Structure formats: C-alpha cells, structure tokens
Amino acid sequence: MQMTYAEAIRDGLRVELKRDPKVYLAGEDVGPFGGCFGVTAGLFDEFGPKRIVDTPISENFIVGHAVGSSACGLRPVVEVMFDDFITVCFDEFANQAAKVRYMFGGKAKVPMVCLTINGAGVGAAAQHSQSLEALLTHIPGLITVIPSTPADAKGLLIAAIRDDNPVIFYEHKQLLGVSEDVPEGDYTVPIGKADIKREGSDVTIVAWSWMVQKSLAAAEELAKDGISVEVLDPRTLVPLDKEAILKSVGKTGRLVIVQESCKTMGFGSEIAAIVAEEGLDLLNAPIIRVAAPNTPIPFSPVLEQEYIPSVEKIVAAVKSLF
Amino acid sequence: MQMTYAEAIRDGLRVELKRDPKVYLAGEDVGPFGGCFGVTAGLFDEFGPKRIVDTPISENFIVGHAVGSSACGLRPVVEVMFDDFITVCFDEFANQAAKVRYMFGGKAKVPMVCLTINGAGVGAAAQHSQSLEALLTHIPGLITVIPSTPADAKGLLIAAIRDDNPVIFYEHKQLLGVSEDVPEGDYTVPIGKADIKREGSDVTIVAWSWMVQKSLAAAEELAKDGISVEVLDPRTLVPLDKEAILKSVGKTGRLVIVQESCKTMGFGSEIAAIVAEEGLDLLNAPIIRVAAPNTPIPFSPVLEQEYIPSVEKIVAAVKSLF
Amino acid sequence: MEFSKEQLFDFYQTMATCRAFESRVSELFAAGKIPGFVHLSLGQEAIAAGVFACVEKDDKCGLHHRSHGEMIAKGGDINKMMAELFGKATGTCKGKGGSMHLADMDMGLLGANGILGAGFAIAAGAAFACRYNETNDITLCLFGDGQSNRGPLHESFNVAALWKLPIVWICENNGFGLSNPVKGHLATDNVSDRAAAYGMPGVTVDGNDVLAVYETTQEAVKRARRGDGPSLLEFKTWRWHGHFEGDPGLYKDPKDQEEWLKKDPIPRLGNMLIKKKYATQEDLDQMKAIGEAKIDAAVKFAEESPWPDASELYTDVYDRQL
Amino acid sequence: MEFSKEQLFDFYQTMATCRAFESRVSELFAAGKIPGFVHLSLGQEAIAAGVFACVEKDDKCGLHHRSHGEMIAKGGDINKMMAELFGKATGTCKGKGGSMHLADMDMGLLGANGILGAGFAIAAGAAFACRYNETNDITLCLFGDGQSNRGPLHESFNVAALWKLPIVWICENNGFGLSNPVKGHLATDNVSDRAAAYGMPGVTVDGNDVLAVYETTQEAVKRARRGDGPSLLEFKTWRWHGHFEGDPGLYKDPKDQEEWLKKDPIPRLGNMLIKKKYATQEDLDQMKAIGEAKIDAAVKFAEESPWPDASELYTDVYDRQL
Ligand SMILES: Cc1ncc(C[n+]2csc(CCOP(=O)(O)OP(=O)(O)O)c2C)c(N)n1
Ligand SMILES: Cc1ncc(C[n+]2csc(CCOP(=O)(O)OP(=O)(O)O)c2C)c(N)n1
Ligand SMILES: [Mg+2]
Ligand SMILES: [Mg+2]
C-alpha cells in the first residue's frame, strides 16, 4: 500500500497500540492536534486519552516518566518534538534509560521508545534543525534507529516497540512526505541490519536518513560518468551492521560517508574509525566524510542551502577518489 | 614550584581572580567547603562571597546563568561537580552557550568556562565515573580543554578564562594528586596546540587526560622491547591540533589512540577518521583504538579494573602492530 | 494611577506598530516571503507596550519565541528586524537567527530563544551581572504559560529569590501551549500561584489592559531596583492566530476566540482615549498610519537588502577561525 | 492516633536495624572494605521506619543516594545489600551498582539514583503505571532538601498534580545539601512551601518522631490510593555524619550537631515504650541485638561471597549481545 513516511510511522504505532495494551504514546501535542508534523494525527480519536497522552511542556518528565513506567511493565512510546530538544532531557537518556538495566544487575529493563525528528532545510534555524543522532550513540545501553524510507520506518518502529531496550527513533522532516509501497499490517525490520539501497562496485557510500536520498541521487549522476556506486544504509547506528559495511568496502575498495550532522564527531567518524581499524587493507583510497560544516545551522535560506550536504558535494567527493 | 594538578588549577583560578574583577567562580560547594575534591579550597577566604559563589543544586541555573552573565560582560567560571552531570545541563551548553554568538550574528559573546571532572577507578560507579568529553565536541561553538599535567592545567585554565568563547575544562580524578614543577604566576598554554609528551619513532600514541600517564607507562614498557613510542597529548580536543597528529603519524607510520571513554564515538573516532581521510598514505598499519568497552561503568572494583584501559592493554595493542 | 496624554499615546503607538508589524509578517509568510517558523502575538500587544514602558535602555530582557512585539516595544530597529525575518544580511543577526533568535544586545535584548525554558537561567544570569556590576539595572524575563512547566523555571526562580536578584518574571498567559489549553498543562489556575513557592509576590492581571500591565510591571520593576528581589507577574491574554503561522488553531473554541477578539487591547485603549477626549479618531488613525508607514519602510528595506554571502556560513562560530 | 505495641516494636526494630547496618558500614568503609562513595543516614532512621510502615510490597518507591535505611525498611534483603556495598557477585545488583544504585524491583524499589533530581520523573512514571494498570498501588518518591532545587522536581510535581497521580513526595530535610545549609539553598523556610504551587497539600513534620512520620505518611498514602492525587511531606531531621563517609562535616555548627544528637529518634521511641510500660530496657536491647545479628550475618555473607567474574563487565548492557 502506498504510504508516506509519516503515514508509515503512524501505521506502525497503530499496529502496536492495537496489539499490546501496555503500549501508549505520550508527548507534547501528540493527541487531538496530531503532533507538530501531523505524524500522530487521528490516533487520539482511535485510541482515546488513556493511550494517547498529551503532556505539558516538560521533557524531563516525558522521558523520565517513561523510564519509570517501562521499568514497571508498560511499553511507552514518547515523543520529544525536535531532536534539538533531546539536549534538555539528555540525562534521562544517558544516565537513566541507558544504565538502569546494568546498574541494577540485569534485574530491571526499560522497554521504551522515544520518537524525535531531525533535519535542516525548512528555515527552522539553529535550535530546530539539528541532526544530533550521533550524540547518544556514545552511551551504551541505548539503541539508535534512523530509517530513510517509509517501509523501513514502519518495520523498524514495530521492532523498536517490541525491543526490550530503550530505543531512540529519529524521523526526518524532509522524509515525512516521501511515499512508497509499504506492507500492510504487522511486520518488523530487524534492528542492526543494514540495507543496500543501491548496488554498485566502484565505491561505497554509507548514508542514513535524508542523506540516503541525496546519495542515491548522487549515485544516479555518477552512473552517467561510469562510476558504479553502492549506497549502504545502516538503518540503525547502534547496533551497527559493521560486517555489511566492511563487506561492501571489501567489494568497492572506496568509502564515502555522507552525514547531515556537523563533521566533527558525527557518526561518520565512528564508521571511518571502524574501517581504519578493521578494514584498512580493503581501502584503495582515503575515506571521505561529506558532512555539514562545524557551524550552527543558519536561518537564512541561502546560508542553510550552503550548510546542507548537497548532491553536488557528494558527487564531487566521490569523483575525487578516481 | 612543585604543585599538584589540583593546586595548579587553584593557582590558575587565583591568578585570574586577582587580575580581572569580572571573573568569578560559581558552583555547588565551591565556597567554604572548597569543592567536592578540594580544588577550590581557600578561595572563598581569599576572595569572599561576591567572587566565590555557592549555588543550590541547580545545574540548569549554574550553566545557564553563566551564559547570561557572560553575555552581559562578566567572565564566569562555573563548576559542574562531575562530568556525568553535564547531561543535566546539556542544553545550556549545546543550544545556548555554543550558539549565542552565531545565532545573534556575532553580536554577542559568551566568555565562560565550565570546570568538571572525569574518570573511573574510585568505585564511584555508573553515574559518577564517566569520561564524556567527546559528547560536546560535536557541537560547534564550544572549546574543549582536557589537560594531563599540572603545568598544562594551570596554563590552559588561564588561557580558557581569557578566551572569548565558551570553554569546557575537564579535570581528572586520578590526576588531582599528581605533582610536578609548575611555573609561578601568570602564563598561558595556547589552546589548540598539542604537546609531545614523549618522542619516539615507531608508533604514535594519541592520548589525553589520565590516559597520557598510562600511555607513558606503556611506552616505558615497550622501550624495553625496542619499540620507540611517541606519546602525543592534544591537550584540547576542540580545537584539535590535527597537524601535529598527522606530522607524528607521518614520522612513525603507526597510530594507536588511547581513550578512557567507551569505544564507540569516543573522541578517538574523530582522530581515526581524520587520519583515515587526510593521512591514509602515512599509515603502515591499521589504526587501533584502545578504549573502555561499550558498557556502563560497574561499581565492583574487579569489574571496574577490567573496564579501565590498562597499561597492559596499551602495550598489547602496540605490539600487535609489529 | 494617572497617565499623561503623552504616555497613553505612546502605549497606543507601540501597540499599533506591533500590530502593523505582525499583520504584515503574517501576509508575507503566507506569500512565501518569510521562511521558517513564525510565531505571532497578535492580540497580545498590550503586554509588550505596557511592560517595556517601565524599563530603560540599559535594562536587560530575556525573550522567548514569540517576541516581535517585545522587541519593538523595547526599541529594536524595525528595519533590521524585518530584514532578519527575510534572512537578509542587514538583519539584526545578519540573517543567521531569524524570528526565533532575534536579539539586540545593544538594547539589552538578550535574545529570543527557541528552546522553551532555557531563557530563565540566562535572564537570571543577566540579573546577576546587573547586581555584580553594581549598576541599578534590572532584568525582565518574558515567557509563555506552556513553558512555565519546564524545570529551569524552578531552578531560576529559587535562586533569584534566594539571592534577591533584580529580575521580574513575566508570564504571557495566552491560553495555550501550542494546542494544549492551560487547564491541560497547569496544575493550578494561575501561573502566578507558583510565586509563593519562592516567597516572592505573584499576581495575575488582565493582559489586554495596557494600563494595568504598566502599573503592575512598574511596581515589580521598582521592587527589583530597590534590591527587594524578584516578582512573578502573569498577564492573561489570548493568541489570535495559530501557534505558528500555518496552524489554523482548530483546537480553539470559536466562542472563546470571538470573545477575546472583542477584547482587542488597541480599540480598548483607543475608546478610552476618545472618551477622555485625549484623542480624536483621526489621532488614532494617524498613529495607525505611522505604524503602517514604518512597516512599509521596513519591508522595502528588507526586500532591497542583499542576501548574506555564502561565506557568512562559516563566521561567528568562534571569535576567531579555529 | 493509637499505636499497638506490635507496631511500636516494629518501628523500633526497623530503626535499630538501620542504625546497626549503617554504623557497621561506616566502620567497614573506614577499614577500606567498602569502596566508592557511601552516604549514610545515621540519625534519620525514623523517616525510613515511619514511611515504609505505610505501604505494601507492591507499592513502588523511588530512592535517592542516601537510601540504605529506606531499602531495609521496605524489606530489602540485607545480606544482598551488604554484598552489593562490597561489590560482590551476590549483591542486589550483582556488584554492578554499589551504594548509589541499590535497587530491588521485586520489592518495588525502583533504585537509588546518583543523579540528584532524576528520580522525580521516574517515580512519577511508576505512579503512572500504577494507575494505568488499574491497580490500587501507589508510589513514594524520597528526596533530599538539596535536590529539591533541581528542575525535574517542578516538571514532575506539576504533571503529578495535574493528572492526580497516586504518588507521595517525601522530602528528607536533613539540614544540608552537601555543605550547603538549607538557608543557603532554599528561598523559603520549608520545602513544603512549594506544595501550593501545584495545588497539593504540603506539610512539615518532625522527622525524628517516627509516630508523626507514620501518621503523616499514612494520610498521604490514603489520599493517593483514593485517587485524590499527590501530597508533599517534609520531614525535618539531621544528618549525623558528613555528606559522604570521609567528610568530617566541618561546616556544621557543633552546637547544632549536639542538639540534634540529643534528638536521636531511637531512644526517643525507646523511652516512650518504657514509659508506657510496653517494653523493658531488655526488650530494647534485644531488638538492638537482633539488628546487630542481622548485620553480622550480612557482613559474613558479603565477605564470603565471590567477586563477580570479569566477564560480568559485558553483560546486562542490553537484553542480548548486540
Ligand atoms: C524545550 C522545548 N520544548 C518544546 C518546544 C516546542 N514548542 C515551541 S513553542 C511551544 C508552545 C509554547 O507555549 P507557551 O510557552 O505558552 O508560549 P506561546 O507559544 O503560547 O507564546 C512548544 C511546545 C520547544 N521549542 N522547546
Ligand atoms: C545532578 C547532581 N548534582 C550534584 C550532585 C552531587 N551531590 C550528591 S549528593 C549532594 C547533596 C544532596 O543534598 P540533599 O538532596 O539534601 O540530600 P542529602 O545528601 O542531604 O541526603 C550533591 C550536591 C549529584 N549527585 N547530582
Ligand atoms: Mg501560551
Ligand atoms: Mg540534605
């Protein structure tokens, strides 16, 4: 069935809300309003106020309460309206959700999911446009899911809700309206398995979220010049499908990583480090990271366009390897 | 003059408190109590309650107020008692201090310093032992200082207080009592310049904070086996002295990075990525990261010792390259 | 309290200019000339006009995300503001900030803030600086009802009261936090009910009565200047438009909306002026025309201004190129 | 309120056991047998004894960092607790948590927390689950005076009151947040003064009077179970020891210390028992001896228990090996 990315996420929520009465959704304006980007539209009418809970503007509470309620047997899905706001409840992720199981010797678990949204390109400026998915990957105990297509989004969300670990699920503003054929009903996409979004033999591009689209467009361009690009989407950053990346680089001998985040310490750093450690022999050329510069995100459209990694920059980076 | 790392930091604070009446220190128990680790002992008696300010347990306030007071012309030095607690005021760093200058088109500045402390090995468990210095390096606008010796600590702290950008200054629990000869009075160590803590020709170890000591001990061991190790301490992570690292790797052809943080997305990932991008040709062997595992920090001493990167592990990693 | 004709005209003029500014912005947004998120305070103009008549140029003010009116009332440059909303190089923030990050340090405007609640501590820090510097300046901090539920409020209210900082906390209770009505997010009837928790005066006042706003603020400002510490003022009003431009505000009861439209603060003051024979309808029309003319000029200025050069993306991250 | 002899004996026994446990822990710490940070609540035993006599096994409780007494009073396994403090494999958390992370989900003990203030939202989430699951269970949340200044308190108090969650907020005001006396960190006289800000009952009671603690808590627990929402209880007491073991507590006025030592809650109840002829001195001595014997056994258990295997470092991070 044809569905947008937003609809696919909503459909995934619906599947789980129907299946498991312990699943509920809580966050700011997720109820009658349907979410800041419309992702949860209609769920309140369908499932009512017990299951779809509008909270005050209180992110420490939103995330912290999910740690408590999930430790007590519920399966909360909470929303932090923008990725940028993960910073205000960072402790609840990094020191609470992530560590409860370990600190308590495995005798507690925190099966919660937090939805949030990334991405520049809509003029939302420095505090509403970031792609900060790399930050929490440094904290063991958390799972990071970051789908690039509607079908992946739905299947990964269902898998995330059923997972017994805390999961952060990153949507992307620029993907919400993208549509494709999405399986109906109940299915999961496994957490920790990369997907080759395009096969190729000359160079591997690893990209996630919106950057998969840009990389696919770049691959199309590059094909015209006879460069065969493999586009690998890890889909989850923790756990990371290292084997798939090494395998692809083994095939192509070249690696370009494309991330929307600032260059320094974006998740591309980790991928590059892994390959430099475990796959150095596979490389025929330096690794390249195509990334946003190390600057905050500017408001003015002309500056913001310069900020976002473009198809042209990806093409140029790949070409520089040949 | 012989000084411990803690004394050197205190001395640096004293130099700046004396020199500039706009400098003040605020934080939990930094006053009469002298700080949780005694670093600020005596300053309250010397400078009084206007300059040395005990705050309530309110980290959002502590860091947030420094953004406001520094934007209005003061030069606050604040303390967040443990690095682990940076998570509770992450927004104040990531979205406020870091971005004010940029968002306001360069018309505001935030010359503040935040002291905090890293490190495992004292049985303080999962929420009081972390080395999270990598996290905020992903956020442009902040400077990250992380000294490994008393003399560096004092000189870098003075430089940090005089810097017109927000600086995070990471101390280390295991270094507080380490002493060496420290210059008296006023001097600075430049921000952004690495220091070669030991010269060598066969392999470069990049390490910072406590891990410099461990790496130097490993180098000593390795010398016995005829392996000549260069130990490079970047001293500041942002800005990073990339040139010094590439130069050293150019000389030795081998790179081992030692970090106390969890392996995934510790700052070693960035260093590895830079070298894989800009210095691949210099490498004669894979890069190795010696790091803590991707686990929270356990309480039990036997587990904690297994957690901390040891001299033996560094030695073994280096040897594996030959 | 007796008001002079001049004062009353000033109130009227300020409200008329704010109204003209935001009405035009609404049109420009609909026409696609202004990108990003734009939050208008149409209907809330009495607060800006009343509050800012109580402070001097050197007094500081922390804003939130719905702050065009306040900025105008404090004396911000309207041309530059409009240019900022367009993302032009001549904007208040060189086009880097946009509507959510308007700031003007020269006017003591510490900046709008896209992170709800982050402004509390920043404003407290400004108040701290006012006192530290032994000036007679005070600080205002404006915020909405919704964000009054964020934790940093608590930390900052407590410290400000404990230290008797010269600050006035001003809540613009406009009925909603995005789609969530006050009774859906606040445990008590009034935001001002929270003042007692910090031992400071708290009062709720009709926010559409510019004279009442002025009187209430005047008293609190005096108290702060005297060194008697903070107050919490709550001005009840109504947001005419949706949360952001583009939101039809379907969650509002049309009856309530209608009621509140009748309470428009501008004709309310205008009628009084006419009744008291201070002004004729022509006087009022003229003030409206003056407001409109300023906006015409501002739009012209913005439209004719150049875009920022792409290289501006990279400046103002630090005080120097790192 | 009338208390049965059995009840009174129970109070006494609980206090005696807590006292014995912590006195021994203090010795063991001084002897180097217990590593890390240890926070004792010697002198505060009446709170644990009184509060936990009001709840059932299935009721939940969030603890903070000074919670040995509470854990014992709620029925935690003393042997396992002691083993945990030693870092042994048989500990409550397999030695991974230590004193600051004691937890026992089977007893509804959601865990001690080393991040001050993080427990508010977690406890609110537990209370949310109690209601969601349509049980009659309630949740207690214990915290100190110092951490009552952290932001998450505000968010959680507001939501709990708004939603009438079945929770009782219990402040153990022991005079200090580390070295900072209450008048140095709190804007009002009492922490309970904050209850009105959320429209809930708030009361301050002598925390060294176990009967008053019991009566007050009983009422609040009933209220919560009835569905009438949260209450805020403040029990005033005094921390006999330093903040952590090793802190001499020089910031305490010796006169105050002396006064409070005289208010020891254990002889206070003991004297009353004797006066009422409920007990003889021998009865009391016997209860003390029972407490001591339990601790002897616990220390033996802990000492004889094995260290965790080093491989335990890597388990319990996730539900599976990622
Ligand atoms: C920390 C944070 N959470 C959520 C948001 C998203 N958000 C922006 S404005 C808004 C509503 C704010 O309501 P209120 O404080 O009453 O101000 P108003 O918009 O009514 O002027 C929300 C939820 C945000 N910007 N920051
Ligand atoms: C967020 C955070 N800030 C600071 C600390 C350090 N710290 C631990 S206990 C403590 C004092 C707590 O005082 P209070 O809440 O009164 O509890 P008490 O220790 O008196 O039982 C401090 C400052 C911490 N653990 N977490
Ligand atoms: Mg509002
Ligand atoms: Mg206390």
Separation CA D28–CA D21 (nearest Å): 10
The single-letter DSSP state of residue B92 is I
* Mean pLDDT of all residues in C119-139: 98
- pLDDT of B268 over the 90 cut: yes
pLDDT in tens, A3-49: 999 999 999 999 999 999 999 999 999 999 999 999 999 999 999 99
Q: Are D50 and D214 in contact (CB under 8 A)?
A: yes
Residues of D in Cβ contact (< 8 Å) with A103: 93, 96-97, 101, 103, 111
Phi-psi region of C131 (alpha: psi -120 to 50; beta: other; left: phi over 0): alpha
Q: What's the distance, Cα to Cα, between the start and end of chain A in Å?
A: 41
Structure tokens at D12: 């006494």
CB pairs < 8 Å spanning A and B: 156
Q: Which position has the token pair 């999910």?
A: A66
Residue B264 with chain A: CB contacts under 8 Å: 137-138, 140, 238, 270
To the nearest 10 degrees (0 to 180), the angle between helices B5-19 and B43-51 is 40
The residues, any chain, with a CB within 8 Å of residue B57's CB and separated by 6 or more, are B28, D116, D117, D146, D147, D149, D150, D177, D178, D180, D185
pLDDT given at position C1 = 83
How far is Cα A9 from Cα A6, in angstroms, rounded to an integer? 5
- pLDDT band for position C100 (50/70/90)? very high
As to burial, measured by CB atoms within 10 angstroms (0-12 exposed, 13-18 middle, 19+ buried), residue B179 is middle
- Cα(C232) to centroid(ligand 4), Å: 28
Cα-based torsion angle of the residue sequence C117, C122, C128, C134 in order, rounded to the nearest 10 degrees:
-130
D66 lines ligand 2 (CB under 6 A): yes
The percentage of chain A sitting over the pLDDT mark of 70, rounded to a whole number, equals 100
Alpha helices in chain B, H assignment, sequence order: 5-19, 43-51, 59-71, 90-91, 100-103, 150-162, 210-224, 242-252, 267-278, 301-307, 311-319
Per-residue pLDDT tens digits for D223-247:
999 999 999 999 999 999 999 999 9
Kindly report the protein residue whose alpha carbon is nearest to atom 10 of ligand 2: D178
The pLDDT tens digits for A137-155 are 999 999 999 999 999 999 9
Cis, bond preceding D166 (omega within 30 deg of 0): no
Ligand 1 neighbour A170 (Cβ under 6 A): no
Neighbouring chains of D at 3+ CB pairs within 8 Å? A, B, C
Query: A280, B283: Cβ pair inside 8 Å?
Result: yes
- Dump pLDDT digits (tens) for D261-316: 999 999 999 999 999 999 999 999 999 999 999 999 999 999 999 999 999 999 99
Contact C316 B106 (CB under 8 A): yes
Q: Are D146 and B57 in contact (CB under 8 A)?
A: yes
Domains and CATH numbers, chain B: 2-181 (3.40.50.970), 195-319 (3.40.50.920)
Hey, are the CB atoms on A73 and D129 less than 8 Å from each other?
yes
Instruction: Chain C: list its partners (3+ Cβ pairs within 8 Å).
Output: A, B, D
DSSP code of D306?
P
pLDDT category of residue B253 using cuts at 50, 70 and 90? very high
- Give the DSSP H/E element, type plus range, for residue B171: strand B167-172
Give, as residue ranges, everything with CB less than 5 Å from ion ligand 3: C 144-146, 174, 176
Measured from the alpha carbon of residue D66, the closest ligand is 2
Structure tokens at A83: 């990725």
Radius of gyration of chain B (CA): 19
How would residue D120 be classed by pLDDT, with cut points 50, 70 and 90?
very high
Note the maximum CA span of chain C: 63
Which letter does DSSP use for residue D307 in this model? P
Q: CA-based Rg of chain D, rounded to a whole angstrom? A: 19
Task: Give SS3 for D105.
Answer: helix
Rounded distance between C-alpha atoms, residue D104 and residue D109, angstroms: 5
For residue B285, pLDDT beyond 90: yes
Task: Give the Cβ contact number of residue C57 at 10 Å.
Answer: 10
D37 touches chain B (CB under 8 A): yes
Q: Which residues pair with C168 in a beta bridge?
A: C140, C231
* Ligand 1: residue whose CA is nearest its atom 5: C116
Dihedral of the alpha carbons of A202, A204, A209, A214, in degrees to the nearest 10? -30
Interchain pair C159, B24: CB under 8 A:
no
Which residue shows structure tokens 């012209």? C300
Question: Would you give the distance in Å from CA A87 to the centre of its chain?
Answer: 16
Largest CA distance in chain A: 58
Ligand 2 atom having least distance to the Cα of D143:
15
Beta-bridged to residue B79, according to DSSP, are: B27, B115
| pLDDT reported for residue A191 | 98
Write down the pLDDT at residue C145.
98
Residue D29 has pLDDT above 90, yes or no: yes
DSSP 8-state secondary structure symbol assigned to residue D109 = B
Percent of chain D with pLDDT over 90: 99
Handedness of CA A19, A24, A28, A34 (dihedral sign): positive
The pLDDT value recorded for residue B299 is 98
The atom of ligand 2 lying closest to the CA of A91 is 1
Write the CATH number of the domain with boundaries D42-261: 3.40.50.970
Q: How many whole angstroms separate alpha carbon B152 and alpha carbon B189?
A: 6
Strand partners of residue A146? none
CB atoms B124 and D147 under 8 Å = no
Residue C251 touches chain A, beta carbons under 8 Å: yes
Among D12, D3, D92, D8, residue whose Cα is nearest residue D291: D12
How confident is the model over C267-279, as pLDDT tens digits? 999 999 999 999 9
* Residue of B297, D119, D89 whose CA lies nearest to A103: B297
Q: What is the ipTM of this complex?
A: 0.98
Answer yes or no: are the C-beta atoms of D71 and D109 closer than 8 Å.
yes
Return all residues near C284 (Cβ < 8 A) that are at least 6 apart. C12, C270, C273, C274
Cβ of B71 within 8 Å of Cβ of C125? The answer is yes
| Residue ranges covered by each domain of chain D | 42-261
Q: Report, as an integer, the average pLDDT of C136-159.
A: 98
At B14-56, the pLDDT tens digits run 999 999 999 999 999 999 999 999 999 999 999 999 999 999 9
pLDDT, one tens digit per residue, over C40-50 is 999 999 999 99
Counting from 1 in the atom list of ligand 1, the atom nearest the Cα of C177 is 13
Residue A59 CA to residue A56 CA, distance in Å, equals 8
pLDDT band at A159 (very low <50, low <70, confident <90, very high): very high
Q: What is the mean pLDDT of residues A216-225?
A: 98
Q: Does C156 touch chain B (CB under 8 A)?
A: yes
| C-beta D177 within 6 A of ligand 2 | yes
Q: Write the pLDDT tens digit of every residue in B59-71.
A: 999 999 999 999 9
- D196 CB-contact burial (10 Å; exposed 0-12 / middle 13-18 / buried 19+): middle
Tell me what the mean pLDDT of segment B289-303 comes to: 98
pLDDT for D159-180, tens place per residue? 999 999 999 999 999 999 999 9
> Which residue among D97, D121, D315 sits closest to A65, beta carbon to beta carbon?
D121
Integer Cα distance of B229 and B216 in angstroms: 9
- The answer to whether residue D1 scores a pLDDT higher than 90 is no
The answer, for D291 touching chain B at a CB cutoff of 8 Å, is no
Q: Which pLDDT tens digit goes with each residue over A230-249? A: 999 999 999 999 999 999 99
Sign of CA dihedral A148, A152, A155, A159: negative
State the average pLDDT over residues A198-206. Answer: 98
Q: Tell the residue nearest (CA) to atom 3 of ligand 1.
A: C116
